[in-house]
Amino acid sequence: MNEKLIEVIGLNKSFGSNTVFDDMNLSLYKGENLVVLGRSGTGKSVLIKCIVKLILPESGKISVLGTEILNASNDQLDEVRKEVGFLFQGGALYDSMSISENLEFALKAHNTTMTKADVQNAIHSTLENVGLKEVIYKMPSELSGGMRKRIALARTIITHPKIILYDEPTTGLDTYTSAEISELIVSIREKYNTSSLIITHDIPCAKITGDRLLIIKDGKNYKEGTFDEFKSDNDNYIRTFFYSI
């Protein structure tokens, strides 16, 4: 069995009377893309925020790259977070900065010892890897939604994280652009040797990106399997995700 980079055991999280997770379990293995599916309100985005301790659960165990996250010191958390890239649902680019400045900011926050030449080389090569080298001096407002997603991904990968957490990477995009972003996620895994946890409701994205899929129901890991296994599964709840495929 491959090395576990993320392990979630017995996770419990509530907001008031709303139980989000009830003994939730999950593992991400080295080199894989794991897709997490679930209906709206099942806590998919809460899950990845718990993994990097942006949200604190009531109980459970979360291990990331061998560090027990819930008991980690601030210094330990900082070290782990340097190895984890987070692609936010809206991209979260800085509107007042050019594309080059957005990437430079992320790189310098991660590595303060790089020379100016090294920074520029990293920016150019990363933009080339997402197919947008020509927009280096543009502002985020000048880009299409798909381009902004690509730049947000470039900002995530420029620090060469070991793990990438994708929060709805194709939300708000048309079918063609969604497929492009999904293919790019696969390409990034090959080029950067990353392991990824992909939160999505987009079944075509899940098909393209996912080595393994996990469905959340009632705060638990309902079932895991490959896309083809889920597609042929007769379980009524699973069919609600795959009825149109």
Residues 31, 29: Cα–Cα separation, whole Å: 6
pTM: 0.91
Strands 212-217 and 195-199: unpaired
AA identity, residue 84: V
Residues 161, 226: Cα–Cα separation, whole Å: 25
Residues 57, 146: Cα–Cα separation, whole Å: 33
Query: CA dihedral defined by 35, 37, 42, 43, rounded to 10 degrees?
Result: 10
pLDDT in tens for each of the 245 residues of the chain?
489 999 999 999 999 999 999 999 999 999 999 999 988 878 888 999 999 999 999 999 999 999 999 999 999 999 999 999 988 776 678 889 999 999 998 888 887 778 889 999 999 999 999 999 999 999 999 998 889 989 999 999 999 999 999 999 998 889 999 999 999 999 999 999 999 999 998 999 999 999 999 999 999 999 999 999 999 999 999 998 887 65
Place of tokens 């947008």: 132
| In the chain, where the domains are located | 1-83+197-245
* Record: fold of 1-83+197-245: Rossmann fold (3.40.50)
Alpha helices in the chain (DSSP H): 44-51, 74-82, 99-110, 116-129, 145-157, 175-192, 203-209, 227-231, 236-242
